[in-house]
Structure 1
Amino acid sequence: MEKVLVLGSINIDFVSFVSRYPQPGETLVSNDFGIFQGGKGANQAIALAKLDVPTLMLGKVGKDIISNFALSSLQESGVDITGISKSQKNSTGSASIWVNTQGQNSIVIYPGANGEVDEDFIIQHEKFFGGASWLLTQFEVPLKSILLALKFAKKHDLKTIMDPAPVKKMSNNDIWGLVDYLLPNEIELRELTHAENVLKGIHILKSRGVKEVIVKLGKQGAGYEDRGTLNLFPAVPVGQVVDTTGAGDCFIAGFLYGMLQQEDIAQAIQVANLTASYSIQKKGAAISFPNKSEIDWKKLE
């Protein structure tokens, strides 16, 4: 199978499970607490590796105890970590997450070493682009580095796929013409385009140069535009939603897995919906992602 190069963030998630979100000045006692592997880049790399996709991670961690946890989690999932280096001055990135009883989450991120994934880092790691077929990235490392990585991807004939989260204000629109597949959620789509509906948002992004836009719609599933029509694919029903943290990352990995199986976009979205449905039934992000053997692929028939 073709190799995927993942450029992105590596975090550790500190997750509190609460009955409701606290008000300013209020102290709440959580119902449960966990420490999990996180960061959109690491999450997506792990989700791909669990689907048996050859995956190499590019990123940075700190010289601290939690970096060992992060690197072990990636390795144990099957991710190649030879593209990860350790910062001499910043700690490993972290996220503080609250999850309510409906499984919805609120997240605050500290970038840490992720902020050191600069243009020099990308140049030093260009050799890895030559051995891959896809580049997957997000917006949790510096924008200039992402732009350079996308240029290297095109130089080495890689297909590109991007998760535009968290949304960044951009004066330079050169980035969009380098993106083959863009997968925002509905909120990110609105922030990027200020469009009044999903279809108009997709049209705006395509006018900027993005080749294909697939929009994640949460419990409604996902959609994309085909010949002027918005095609919607409903989410796969589950018994109970426990924690939606990382569901979007799992969706992206499922979509890319579908594309690697030579599926068309519609079929790849259905693969993504099915894959993501497993992740929301357990606590945590990466730890909740399914192995390929766990998925009931007959549901796609």
Structure 2
Amino acid sequence: MEKVLVLGSINIDFVSFVSRYPHPGETLVSNDFGIFQGGKGANQAIALAKLDVPALMLGKVGKDTLSDFALSSLQESGVKITGITKSQKISTGSASIWVNAQGQNSIVIYPGANGEVDEDFIAQHEKFFDDASWLLIQFEVPPKSILLALKFAKKYGLKTVMDPAPVREVGNNDIWELVDYLLPNEIELRELTNTENILKAIRILKSRGVKEVIVKLDKQGAGYEDKGTFNLFPAVPVEQVVDTTGAGDCFVAGFLYGMIQWEDIPRAIKIANLTASYSIQKKGAAISFPNKSEIDWKKLE
């Protein structure tokens, strides 16, 4: 199977499960608490590995106990970690997450060592681009590093997938013409284009050079534009939403798995919806992602 090079963040998530979000100045007692593997890059690499897709992680962690947790989590999931280095100055990235009774989350991120994934780091790891077929990238590392990685990807003939989260000003329109598949959610789509009209937003992004835009629409599912029409693929129903943390990452991995296997966008979106439906039924991000053998593939029929 084609290999995926994942460039992105590696975090540890500190998650509090609450009945509701606290008001300013208010102290709440949480119903439960957990420490989980996180970071969009690491999450997506783990989700791919659980789907039996060869994934190699490029990123940085700190020289601390949190890094040991992160590296062991990645390895145990089947992700290759030879592209990960340790910062001598900054701690491992982390996220403070609140999950309410409806399973919705609010997240505050401390970038930590992820901020040291600079252009020099990318250049030092150029050799890994020559041994992959896809580059998967997010916005949790510096924009200049993203641009250089995309340039290396095109130099070595890799197809590129970008999850533009968290949305940030990239400051260089050259990035967009190097992106084959862009997977924003509805909020990210609006912030990237300054319009709430989905079709108009997709056209704006394509005018910048993006080849295809797949829009994640939360409970509604996901869709893409084809011949002037937005095609929506409904979300897979579940009995109870427990925690949506990492569901978008699971979706991205499912989509990429589908594209590697079938090279068909509609089928890939259906697979992405299906894999994400498993993630939201458990607590945590990476720990909630399904193994390929757990998925009821008959639901695609």
Give TM class, smaller chain.
over 0.9
Q: Does 1:118 align with 2:121?
A: no
TM-aligned CA deviation for residue 151 of structure 1: 0.1
TM-aligned CA deviation for residue 195 of structure 1: 1.3
Q: Which amino acid aligns with 2:7?
A: L
Q: Which amino acid aligns with 1:267?
A: R
RMSD: 0.5
Partner of 1:67: 67
Partner of 2:42: 42
Partner of 1:247: 247
The 2-side partners of 1:272 and 1:17 are apart by 26
Q: Which amino acid aligns with 2:238?
A: V
Which structure 2 residues correspond to residues 1-301 of structure 1 after superposition, within 5 A?
A: 1-301=1-301
The 2-side partners of 1:200 and 1:130 are apart by 36
TM-aligned CA deviation for residue 196 of structure 1: 2.5
The one-character-per-residue Cα deviations of 1:177-223 (angstroms, maximum 9, x if unpaired) are 00000000000000000113111111100000000000000010001
The 1-side partners of 2:85 and 2:38 are apart by 17
Q: Could you say what secondary structure the match of 2:262 adopts?
A: coil
The 2-side partners of 1:280 and 1:274 are apart by 11
The 1-side partners of 2:263 and 2:155 are apart by 25
TM-aligned CA deviation for residue 263 of structure 1: 3.7
Q: Which amino acid aligns with 2:106?
A: S
Q: Could you say what secondary structure the match of 1:106 adopts?
A: strand
Unpaired segments ≥5 residues, structure 2: none
The 1-side partners of 2:272 and 2:196 are apart by 26
The 2-side partners of 1:19 and 1:170 are apart by 36
The one-character-per-residue Cα deviations of 1:111-151 (angstroms, maximum 9, x if unpaired) are 00000000000000000000000000000000000000000
- Evaluate the alpha carbon distance shift between residue 199 and residue 11 of structure 1 in structure 2; reply closer, same or farther with a 3 A threshold: same
Q: Which amino acid aligns with 1:275?
A: T
Q: Which amino acid aligns with 1:202?
A: I
The 2-side partners of 1:50 and 1:201 are apart by 33
The 2-side partners of 1:165 and 1:171 are apart by 15
Q: Which amino acid aligns with 2:82?
A: T
The 1-side partners of 2:29 and 2:38 are apart by 23
The 2-side partners of 1:290 and 1:204 are apart by 35
Q: Could you say what secondary structure the match of 2:188 adopts?
A: helix
The 1-side partners of 2:291 and 2:282 are apart by 13
Q: Could you say what secondary structure the match of 1:261 adopts?
A: helix
The 2-side partners of 1:279 and 1:271 are apart by 13
TM-aligned CA deviation for residue 169 of structure 1: 1.3
The one-character-per-residue Cα deviations of 1:267-291 (angstroms, maximum 9, x if unpaired) are 1000000000000000000000000
TM-score computed with the length of structure 1 as normaliser: 0.99
TM-aligned CA deviation for residue 170 of structure 1: 3.0
TM-score computed with the length of structure 2 as normaliser: 0.99
